[in-house]
Amino acid sequence: MTLNSFQFNTTPGLRYGSGQAKDSCKEISNKLGQSILFITDKGLMSLGLTEQTLKELKKISSVEIFDDVEADPSKKTLHKAIEVGKKIKATGVIGFGGGSSMDVAKLTALILGSGENLEEAWGVANAKGPRLPLVLIPTTAGTGSEVTPVSIITVGEEEKKGVSSSIILPDLAILDPDLTLGLPAGTTAATGIDAMVHAIEAYASSSKNNNPISKMLSIEALKLLGGSIEKAVFEGSNVEARGNMLIGAMLAGKAFANSPVAAVHALAYPIGGTFHVSHGLSNSLVLPYVLRFNSVDSKASKDYAELAPYVFPEIDTNRGAQSVCAEFIDKLESLSKKLGLPQKLREVDIPKNACEKMAKDAMKQTRLLVNNPREVTEKDALNIYHSAW
DSSP for residue 74? B
For residue 385, the model assigns a pLDDT of 98
Residue 93, classed as helix, strand or coil, is strand
Percent of the chain as helix, strand, coil, to the nearest 5: 55, 10, 30
Q: Domains of the chain, with CATH numbers?
A: 13-179 (3.40.50.1970), 184-388 (1.20.1090.10)
Is the link from the previous residue into 130 a cis peptide, with omega within 30 of 0? Answer: yes
Q: How confident is the model at residue 166 (pLDDT cuts 50, 70, 90)?
A: very high
| Percent of the chain scoring above 90 in pLDDT | 94
Q: What are phi and psi of 294, to 5 degrees?
A: -70, -30
134 burial type by CB count under 10 A (0-12 exposed, 13-18 middle, 19+ buried): buried
Poorest-pLDDT segment among 75-89, 151-165, 340-354: 151-165
Nearest in space to 203 (alpha carbons), one of 301, 304, 325, 320: 304
N-to-C CA span, the chain: 42
From the list 292, 301, 296, 15, the residue with the least C-alpha distance to 171 is 15
For 109-120, how does the pLDDT look when each residue is reduced to its tens digit (9 = 90+)?
999 999 999 999
pLDDT reported for residue 273 = 85
pLDDT-based confidence at residue 1 (cuts at 50, 70, 90): low
Condensed to tens digits (0 to 9), the pLDDT of residues 2-20 reads: 678 999 999 999 999 999 9
279-294 vs 185-204: helix crossing angle, rounded to 10: 40
Q: How confident is the model at residue 312 (pLDDT cuts 50, 70, 90)?
A: very high
Q: What is the mean pLDDT of the chain?
A: 96
Arithmetic mean of pLDDT, 273-298: 95
Q: Which residues pair with 154 in a beta bridge?
A: 74, 160
With a cut of 90, say whether residue 180 has pLDDT above it.
yes
In tens, the pLDDT along 30-46 reads 999 999 999 999 999 99
Helix (H, G, I), strand (E, B) or coil at 43: helix
CB 264 within 8 A of CB 356: no
Contact 5, 212 (CB under 8 A): no
- C-alpha to C-alpha distance for 50 and 381, rounded to whole angstroms: 41
Q: How many residues does the chain have?
A: 389
Neighbours of 212 (CB within 10 A): 12
Half-sphere exposure of 51 (CA within 13 A, CB side): 6
Predicted confidence band at 72 (pLDDT cuts at 50, 70, 90)?
A: confident
CA angle centred on 60, ends 54 and 61, rounded to 5° = 75
Residue 152 forms beta bridges with which residues? 162
What confidence score (pLDDT) does residue 156 get? 81
Which residues are CB-contacts of 306 (< 8 A; sequence separation ≥ 6)? 203
Residue closest to 100 by CA, chosen among 126, 68, 131 = 68
Whether pLDDT at 158 is above 90? no
* pLDDT tier at 54, thresholds 50, 70, 90: very high
Report the C-alpha gap between 214 and 249 in whole angstroms: 13
Which of 155-164, 226-235, 277-286 has the weakest average pLDDT? 155-164
Return the SS3 of 180.
helix
The number of C-alpha atoms within 13 Å of 249 and in the hemisphere containing its C-beta is: 36
pLDDT digits (tens, 9 = 90+) for 181-199: 989 999 999 999 999 999 9
Residue 159 pLDDT level (bands cut at 50, 70, 90): confident
Query: pTM to 2 decimals?
Result: 0.96
CB 140 within 8 A of CB 250: no
DSSP-derived pairing of the beta strands 134-138 and 62-66: unpaired
